[in-house]
Each structure stands twice: as structure tokens, then as C-alpha cells.
Amino acid sequence: DAKTTQPTSMDCAEGRAANLPCNHSTISGNEYVYWYRQIHSQGPQYIIHGLKNNETNEMASLIITEDRKSSTLILPHATLRDTAVYYCIVRPENTGNQFYFGTGTSLTVIP
Amino acid sequence: DAEITQSPRHKITETGRQVTLACHQTWNHNNMFWYRQDLGHGLRLIHYSYGVQDTNKGEVSDGYSVSRSNTEDLPLTLESAASSQTSVYFCASRRTMNTEAFFGQGTRLTVV
């Protein structure tokens, strides 16, 4: 798997956009970028994934740079319930058995 | 609604005992996985299954076994529990290798 690098922690004011960066400079052409989050004491929750194009769903937007070496997860209007550890994972298509979650970014949404 | 459930949520057992953690999903997913989560290690894959009668070893499979007799269930067995197996265990399932994985709420196991 391509290695990913994320900041250890971030704060965001409630109601503002939370922008969580991820570097994956060794990503290869067939590797997808996945984002999951884990709220304290719960199982990981899928957020979004993409290959090349920017993606948006009801939870978040994923912006992938043109060279695909980095991406940003955007939570458009962060709420207190978005406080969690966010994991960026790079996985090749059709080899999705083993997710290496790393240590992720601990996002704290501040009232 | 379809879901994935783990039981028990909390378990304390003694060293050397056999322990089985249950995982049940109602999505009819073929692919199921067991992970353990420890501080500083993220989630590490223990075993996984692509379907009935199929099981495969993951990154940290020593001391663990699984069986897949039906689509819905993938029980994880610790043959002889050790203190090093104290951890939080998560079960997950996914429809295909290219779709998102759904995780259970976890089982916190303490081996004393």
C-alpha cells in the first residue's frame, strides 16, 4: 500500500468547514483514496472514496490533486458530532482486504 | 435496516481459556473481516473470508481461528487466550472489494 501521512490532530470551529489533509506521494495509478472516521468507542465508519476526480456525497467532499499525491477531506459544516479520528487509506482496486488505518487525524470540533 | 452486530460488547476471560467472539451481518455480504485495534497500531487484520467455507489469514492471525458455515456469520475463536490478546476487536463486511466496508461496534476483550 502507498504510505499516507496525516496531521496528528486538528481543531475546527462548529459550523465552519473542516479541511483534513492527507499526503500519499507514493500512490500508484490504480490506487483509490478512502476516508473513514472513528468516533470514540465505535467502529470505523466509511465516509467517501475516489480515484482521480473530486467526489461529493451527503457526508463530505474529497478533493484529490491533479498529480494524486495528496487529497483533502472537507466536512462543509462541522458539528460537534464530527469530533472523531479520521483515517486516510490508499488501497488498490480489487485488493481491498487489508485496510491499514494508521493513526489518523484526531479532529476536535469546538463549540 | 441491515446491520452488522458483534457480541459480546465486553468480555473478561482468563489466560488459557478458549473464547469465541460473534459477528453477524444481515447484508448478505460475501466478504467479512476481523481486525484488532491497539494503541499505536491502528486496525490490524486477523482473518478474512470471501464466502462460505472460505477463510484466510491476515497480518496477525497467530492464536486465532475463524469459520464460515453461512453467509451471515464469521465467529472469531481465540484457542488459548493470552494477555497479549487483550484488545478491541472489530468485525467488518463489504459487498465487493470495491465498495465500502461496514464495521461492527467492537468487542473489548480483556485477558487476565
Return the residue in B57, B103, B107 with the most chain A beta carbons within 10 A, the one to mutate for interface testing: B103
Q: Whose CA is closest to A84, among A48, A36, A13?
A: A36
How far apart are alpha carbons A2 and A90 in whole angstroms?
A: 6
CB contact under 8 A, A97 and B45: yes
State pLDDT tens for residues B62-108.
999 999 999 999 999 999 999 999 999 999 998 887 778 899 999 99
Peptide bond preceding A44: is omega within 30 degrees of 0, i.e. cis? Answer: no
CB contact under 8 A, B33 and A94: no
Mean pLDDT of A89-100: 68
Closest-CA distance of chain B to residue A6, Å: 13
Do the Cβ atoms of A6 and A104 come closer than 8 Å? yes
Q: Whose CA is closest to A4, among A98, A74, A56, A69?
A: A69
Q: Which DSSP string corresponds to B95-110?
A: SSTTS--EE---EEEE
Do the Cβ atoms of A107 and A82 come closer than 8 Å? yes
State pLDDT tens for residues A6-46.
999 999 999 999 999 999 988 888 888 999 999 988 899 99
Q: Whose CA is closest to A21, among A40, A37, A6?
A: A6
How far apart are alpha carbons A42 and A6 in whole angstroms?
A: 21
A86 touches chain B (CB under 8 A): no
Return the pLDDT at A2.
Answer: 58
- Chains A, B: CB contacts within 8 A come to 54
Contacts of A103 in chain B (CB under 8 A): 40, 42
Confidence of residue A97 (pLDDT cuts 50, 70, 90): low
How far apart are alpha carbons A93 and A91 in whole angstroms?
A: 6
Mean pLDDT of B107-111: 97
Mean pLDDT of chain A: 90
A41 touches chain B (CB under 8 A): yes
Contacts of A34 in chain B (CB under 8 A): 100
CB contact under 8 A, B90 and A103: no
State pLDDT tens for residues B18-77.
999 999 999 999 999 999 999 877 788 899 999 999 999 988 999 999 999 999 999 999
How far apart are alpha carbons A88 and A3 in whole angstroms?
A: 10
Return the pLDDT at B97.
Answer: 73
- Is a pLDDT exceeding 60 seen at residue A49? yes
- Is a pLDDT exceeding 80 seen at residue A72? yes
In percent, the amount of chain A with pLDDT more than 70 equals: 90
Do the Cβ atoms of A22 and A6 come closer than 8 Å? yes
CA B4-B51-B71 angle, 5° bins: 45
Q: List, in sequence order, every beta strand (DSSP E) within A1-111.
A: 9-13, 18-23, 31-38, 45-50, 55-56, 61-64, 70-75, 84-92, 105-110
Return the pLDDT at A96.
Answer: 54
Mean pLDDT of A47-72: 94
Contacts of B105 in chain A (CB under 8 A): 42-43
Do the Cβ atoms of B111 and B81 come closer than 8 Å? yes
